[in-house]
Amino acid sequence: MPTNELIKGTLGTIILKLLQENGKMYGYDITRVVKQRTDGKILLKEGSLYPALHKLLAEGLVKTEEMLIGNRPRVYYSLTPAGKKQIAIRTEELAGFMESIRTIMGIQTTLSHG
Amino acid sequence: MPTNELIKGTLGTIILKLLQENGKMYGYDITRVVKQRTDGKILLKEGSLYPALHKLLAEGLVKTEEMLIGNRPRVYYSLTPAGKKQIAIRTEELAGFMESIRTIMGIQTTLSHG
DNA sequence: AAGTATACATAGAAAAACTATGCATAGAAA
DNA sequence: TTTCTATGCATAGTTTTTCTATGTATACTT
């Protein structure tokens, strides 16, 4: 029950969200998207990513589909129904947590308003 | 070098920020302020708080001042010059990280604009 | 031929927060 | 007066997460 635990499990939530957007993705793909979307600020390591994916799989939140591209194996991940449900829950949890942190820290969000 | 590590160390940053605002605080005090400011969403446990305070102390970012209230010991923490410098650095780091997460997750911030 | 990018994986280390204790004072409720 | 709750500090040990460091292998580029 991660009521607290100051944000742990963020990576799992990020992965679920990306799968929701893109339908199916494979590991290497995810690292690139995260890197690109964060201007290189968040660099996922294989040692973080693959265990996180395996955990989501064990939890039944994602499923896999293996295929060969040429001679190279590739494992696509996509959401299960349970995974789809989890996204709303986790996103809200994460948003709420970040809102709390912002309240404490007095952090302003970068806004282009017009 | 916590370039990545998905937000670990947030607690230390929170503590520094609260000390900056309030000048000096003691442990139990901090748990109450955090609870209050986050509407009970973040509940610091002693097992998290005191080790975090001790670590900040060991890093030279805070200093202590012990006193007795009646017969009860109380340990006040306040910022050292090094601690004051750290706040800007860590706050920016945390803000940048949260901005990245928001970008990935597509989280909207609650705004009252007019 | 060598280097870089792609692609998956795991073992072991490190860090952070947690649970569960322990001790003790103080005030309120029963 | 006893018990419960709040205050106040502390640590030992566990769990979780991410990391570093490897290992294997294909594919493309130079």
pLDDT recorded at residue B113: 46
Q: Which fold has domain B8-101?
A: Arc Repressor Mutant, subunit A (1.10.10)
Does residue A45 approach strand D to less than 7 Å at its CB? yes
Q: What's the mean per-residue pLDDT of chain B?
A: 89
pLDDT in tens, B46-102: 999 999 999 999 999 999 999 999 899 999 999 999 999 999 999 999 999 999 999
**Better-scored residue on pLDDT, A9 or A4:** A9
pLDDT recorded at residue B107: 81
Rounded, the Å distance between the CA of B45 and C1' of C16 is: 13
Does residue B55 approach strand C to less than 7 Å at its CB? yes
Report angle CA A42, A47, A49 to the nearest 5 degrees.
Answer: 60
Q: What is the architecture, at CATH level 2, of domain A5-104?
A: Orthogonal Bundle (1.10)
Does the pLDDT of residue A111 top 80, yes or no?
Answer: no
Residue ranges covered by each domain of chain A: 5-104
Contacts of B18 in chain A (CB under 8 A): 104
**Better-scored residue on pLDDT, B7 or A46:** A46
Name the residue among A3, A6, A99 with its Cβ closest to that of B11: A6
Contacts of B7 in chain A (CB under 8 A): 6-7, 10
Interchain proximity A102–B101, CB inside 8 Å: no
Interchain proximity A110–B99, CB inside 8 Å: yes
Q: Give how far B71 is from chain A: nearest CA, Å.
A: 32
Does the pLDDT of residue B111 top 70, yes or no?
Answer: no
